[in-house]
Amino acid sequence: MARILLIDDDRLVRSTLQQFLTLDGHQVQEAANGHEARDLLERERFDLVITDIVMPEQDGFEVVMALTGRSERPKLMVITGGSPNLPPQMLLKIAARMQVERVLAKPVSYEQLSATVTEVLNG
């Protein structure tokens, strides 16, 4: 299956999504923010990066922008539950205009995540 980097500052969300992804046989590495993710992306190759948008230190938009210029970039999915200042639909609309394969609103069900990841990896 695929090697996936999962980036989310919420430990419970990361744990839940990681469990969903491993149920489908994927190898999952986790990062709590874009800064941690950047270090992993420098050392390892991933088939897919799933990133939250609103995070401390380096947000999901910065992760997407950093990967966009790469010649061998992984496929990208963005998920968000919004922020105190912006609703999730606004953030997802912005993310959809970037070079990402898919955007999803939180909460994400196992079925939704599994189907979307399969579609992105096979697309």
> What is the number of other CB atoms lying within 10 angstroms of the CB of residue 20?
20
Convert the pLDDT of each residue in 33-64 to its tens digit: 999 999 999 999 999 999 999 898 899 999 99
CATH number at residue 79: 3.40.50.2300
Place of tokens 């046989």: 25
Over residues 11-19, the mean pLDDT reads 97
Q: Do the beta carbons of residue 31 and residue 19 sit within 8 Å? A: no
* Number of domains within the chain: 1
pLDDT of residue 83: 74
Half-sphere exposure of 108 (CA within 13 A, CB side): 30
Single pTM value for the model: 0.92
Mean pLDDT for 85-114 is: 87
Whole domain around residue 113: which residue ranges?
3-122
By the 8 A CB rule, do 92 and 80 touch?
yes
Side chain identity at 53, as an amino acid letter?
I
